[in-house]
């Protein structure tokens, strides 16, 4: 007896995703006429009887079997694993309840888009969640393939693609205001290039500038420190110059782009015999370090609630799967202040 064809059979023969087949046969989604005709013709060829489908009794999520999660395995992103683990755990737990599988898709940021697309196509991924990695050609290709995708923690394409972000401007603003409210009037800013995240640098610096300008605090140009991630010699040279200033002229507070950078700053300051927070206070967004490890300095941060972010990503994905793309396009998650002892009033403040 001939087996009744399933959606995956139509998708395989037509060389489209199961998601595309589901959208075409249910009459939902924005699918090109050529693809729509291809799916209908293939369904007819295989003997698929569309009229037997009763939408009231069919789980709309049933056709989305495997969710691919894009993660970078570049060395520069190795420190982020502890940070994204709660996101992955929450996604896996939530999707498992819906009967969905999750699969990690390791990539390098400089990998050709065709290579990444192939990694998605071989296991027949039905939807994609991309952590940090954002490439316009990649995202546009997924869109043309009618594969739903969500870009996470990369706000470079938030005006075009579904995105779940952190509010980097507000977190930098609030972190800087924490230093100012403690009495710090002489601040420095330290950053370095973060692969594939140019807008993050702009937004966090904008939030920092917004706080100091509202508080009418000048920041000399030489107190904005930029260095290559692993070039601690350059970082030490710049920090040394800042703290060689005459008494009362050196910064009493430092805002760092993230706590991975703050850890490097603390190491260099120690070599310069500058104590934290006795001589200078430090704050940073992120909470990307594993603070359960004894060798990690306890840094005051603006923490991202990654478990909550995982729930938000899941909810947005379910919304897309229900074919309600107009409901949720971009969601931003706030940071929360976590005090760990690297911030204190400056010595001149009683």
| C-alpha span between 159 and 341 (Å, rounded) | 38
pLDDT at 119 over 60: yes
Contact call for residues 39 and 10 (beta carbons, < 8 A): yes
Choice among 38-47, 169-178, 229-238, 296-305 with the minimum mean pLDDT: 38-47
Choice among 1-15, 174-188, 271-285, 332-346 with the minimum mean pLDDT: 1-15
Average pLDDT of the chain to the nearest whole number: 86
| C-alpha span between 88 and 310 (Å, rounded) | 7
Higher-scoring residue by pLDDT: 272, 348 = 272
pLDDT at 301 over 60: yes
| C-alpha span between 157 and 147 (Å, rounded) | 17
Burial class from Cβ neighbours inside 10 Å (0-12, 13-18, 19+) for residue 275 reads exposed
Contact call for residues 126 and 65 (beta carbons, < 8 A): yes
Confidence of residue 106 (pLDDT cuts 50, 70, 90): very high
Q: At a CB cut-off of 8 Å and minimum separation 6, what does 249 contact?
A: 186
Other CB atoms closer than 10 Å to residue 203's CB: what's the count? 20
pLDDT value of residue 29: 53
Domain covering 168-303 in this structure, CATH number? 3.40.50.2300
Look at domain 7-52 and name its CATH class. Answer: mainly alpha
Question: Which run of H or E residues covers position 18?
Answer: helix 18-26
pLDDT at 325 over 60: no
Domain with CATH 3.40.50.2300 in the chain: 66-166+306-334, 168-303
pLDDT of 55-98, one tens digit each?
A: 333 344 444 578 999 999 888 777 788 889 999 999 999 999 88
Choice among 26-30, 46-50, 332-336 with the minimum mean pLDDT: 26-30
pLDDT value of residue 137: 92
Question: What does the block give as tokens for 77?
Answer: 């992103």
Look at domain 66-166+306-334 and name its CATH class. Answer: alpha beta
Higher-scoring residue by pLDDT: 61, 107 = 107
pLDDT value of residue 149: 92
pLDDT value of residue 21: 79
Confidence of residue 52 (pLDDT cuts 50, 70, 90): very low
pLDDT at 271 over 90: yes
pLDDT value of residue 78: 79
Domain with CATH 1.10.260 in the chain: 7-52
pLDDT value of residue 121: 78
pLDDT value of residue 11: 82
pLDDT value of residue 350: 43
Q: Which residue has the tokens 């992955």?
A: 88
pLDDT at 28 over 70: no
DSSP state of 66: E
How far apart, in Å, do the first and last CA atoms of the chain sit?
Answer: 87
């Amino acid at each position: 007896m001939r087996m009744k064809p399933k959606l995956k059979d139509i998708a395989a023969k037509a060389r489209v995703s199961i998601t595309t087949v589901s959208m075409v046969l249910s009459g939902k989604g924005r699918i090109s006429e050529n693809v729509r005709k291809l799916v209908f013709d293939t369904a007819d060829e295989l003997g698929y009887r569309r009229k037997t489908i009763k939408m009231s009794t069919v789980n709309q999520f049933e056709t989305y079997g495997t969710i691919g999660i894009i993660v970078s395995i570049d060395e520069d992103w190795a420190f982020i694993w502890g940070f994204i683990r709660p996101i992955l755990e929450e996604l896996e737990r939530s999707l498992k309840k819906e009967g969905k599988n999750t699969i990690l898709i390791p990539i390098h940021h400089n990998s050709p888009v065709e290579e990444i697309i192939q990694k998605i196509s071989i296991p027949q991924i039905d939807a994609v969640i991309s952590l940090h990695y954002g490439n316009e050609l990649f995202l546009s290709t997924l869109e043309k393939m009618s594969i739903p995708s969500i870009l996470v923690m990369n706000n470079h394409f938030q005006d075009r693609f579904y995105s779940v972000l952190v509010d980097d401007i507000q977190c930098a603003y609030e972190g800087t205001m924490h230093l100012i409210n403690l009495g710090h009037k002489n601040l420095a800013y330290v950053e370095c290039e973060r692969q594939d995240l140019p807008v993050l640098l702009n937004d966090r610096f904008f939030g920092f500038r917004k706080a100091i300008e509202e508080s009418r605090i000048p920041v000399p140009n030489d107190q904005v420190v930029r260095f290559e991630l692993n070039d601690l010699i350059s970082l030490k040279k710049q920090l040394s110059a800042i703290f060689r200033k005459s008494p009362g002229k050196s910064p009493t507070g430092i805002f760092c782009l993230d706590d991975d950078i703050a850890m490097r700053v603390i190491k260099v300051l120690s070599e310069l015999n500058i104590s934290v927070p006795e001589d200078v206070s430090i704050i940073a967004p992120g909470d990307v370090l594993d603070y359960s490890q004894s060798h990690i300095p306890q840094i005051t941060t603006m923490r991202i609630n990654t478990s909550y972010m995982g729930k938000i990503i899941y909810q947005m994905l379910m919304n897309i799967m229900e074919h309600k793309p107009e409901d949720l396009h971009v969601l931003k998650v706030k940071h929360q202040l976590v005090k760990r002892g690297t911030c204190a009033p400056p010595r001149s403040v009683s």
